[in-house]
Amino acid sequence: MFKNVIVRRPGRSLAEGITSAPELGKPDYELALRQHDAYIKALEECGVKVTVLEALEEYPDSCFVEDTAVLTKRCAIISNPGASTRRGESVLMIDTIKKFYSDDQIEYITSPGTMEGGDVMMVGNHFYIGLSARTNEEGCRQFKEALEKYGHTCSVVSLEEVLHLKTGVNYIENNNMLVSGEFIEKEDFKSFNKIIVPENEAYGANCIWVNDIVIVPEGYPTVEKGVRDAGYKVIVLDTSEYKKLDGGLSCLSLRF
């Protein structure tokens, strides 16, 4: 179960965030704020305490806090984002993380290693890390070494088609996993109960499990049905403004 969540308010600079889909248009700041309010409210309904950090205008992507760290029951690993414009975001998260973890529980990914939290998927005590355009081999090596110090295990999954590992595959507990695209046939995930996400709903693969409730993005009916059929209570949230920047539900929080 998660007790805490950290989020960061989007800034007006959100419109300058990194995107692979400029054809979706620039995010509308006011609407993004309203969607963020609803996100916080939904998390509170899931029974977690939400720490809300101020917007950082100098970092347009800084509301995507998931990429700045990986927080486990035993340790915190501060990332080193592969996107150069996002490097400072991890550094600016350290003081907040120190409110929850002692210095001897905090590890750091350092250059030339790069790692973004969106590439890390927790399955109990095991962590899958995506080798992606943002997380490199040295980042994976450092991450695995850090986790193993705390008795966690880790395996690397290479990916070609999407930004982050969790863009396309998400564990929602009870052996259930949402899988899309290149992850559907991956050996690594063959023992899970797979909820297959169709190509035209690929963005919907990014759902989050928070204390037996699954938060699902609005507009992905096959995904929503699959999650409901697996027995979960569902909260549906509109994330249209974050989708314009390749961001989804998981990206907007650190859950621990």
DSSP class per residue in the chain:
---EEEEEPPPGGGGGS--S-GGG-PPPHHHHHHHHHHHHHHHHHTTPEEEEEPP-TT-TTTT-GGGGEEE-SS-EEE-B-SSGGGHHHHHTTHHHHTTTS-GGGEEE--TT--B-GGGEEEETTEEEEEE-SSS-HHHHHHHHHHHHHTT-EEEEEE-SSSSSHHHHEEE-STTEEEEEGGGTT-GGGTTSEEEEEPGGGGGGG--EEETTEEEEETT-HHHHHHHHHTT-EEEEE--HHHHTTT--TGGG-EE-
Which one of 34-42, 138-146, 214-222, 244-252 is the stretch in contact with ligand CIR (CB under 6 A)?
244-252
Is residue 107 involved in binding ligand CIR (CB under 6 A)?
no
Taking CB under 6 A as the criterion, the residue among 66, 89, 224, 241 binding ligand CIR is 66
Q: Shortest gap between Cβ of 206 and ligand CIR (angstroms)?
A: 7
Closest-CA residue to 124 (of 61, 68, 67, 192): 192
Taking CB under 6 A as the criterion, the residue among 10, 11, 27, 118 binding ligand CIR is 118
Calculate ∠ Cα 117-100-77, nearest 5°. Answer: 30
Residue (42 or 121) nearer to ligand CIR, CB: 121
Taking CB under 6 A as the criterion, the residue among 2, 59, 64, 220 binding ligand CIR is 64
Is residue 251 involved in binding ligand CIR (CB under 6 A)?
yes
Residue (136 or 167) nearer to ligand CIR, CB: 167
Is residue 239 involved in binding ligand CIR (CB under 6 A)?
no
Is residue 123 involved in binding ligand CIR (CB under 6 A)?
no
Residue 88, Cβ density class (10 Å: 0-12 exposed, 13-18 middle, ≥19 buried): middle
Q: Shortest gap between Cβ of 101 and ligand CIR (angstroms)?
A: 20
Residue (39 or 64) nearer to ligand CIR, CB: 64
Residue (147 or 251) nearer to ligand CIR, CB: 251
Residue (36 or 193) nearer to ligand CIR, CB: 36
Per the annotation, the verdict on 63 as an active-site residue is no
Per the annotation, the verdict on 251 as an active-site residue is yes
In the beta sheet, which residues pair with residue 171? 177
Taking CB under 6 A as the criterion, the residue among 71, 113, 246, 256 binding ligand CIR is 246
Is residue 77 involved in binding ligand CIR (CB under 6 A)?
no
Q: Which of residues 130-189 bind ligand CIR (CB under 6 A)?
A: 163-164, 167
Contacting residues toward ligand CIR, per CB under 6 A: 17-19, 61, 64, 66-67, 83, 86, 118, 163-164, 167, 245-247, 250-251
Active-site residues, by number, are: 164, 251
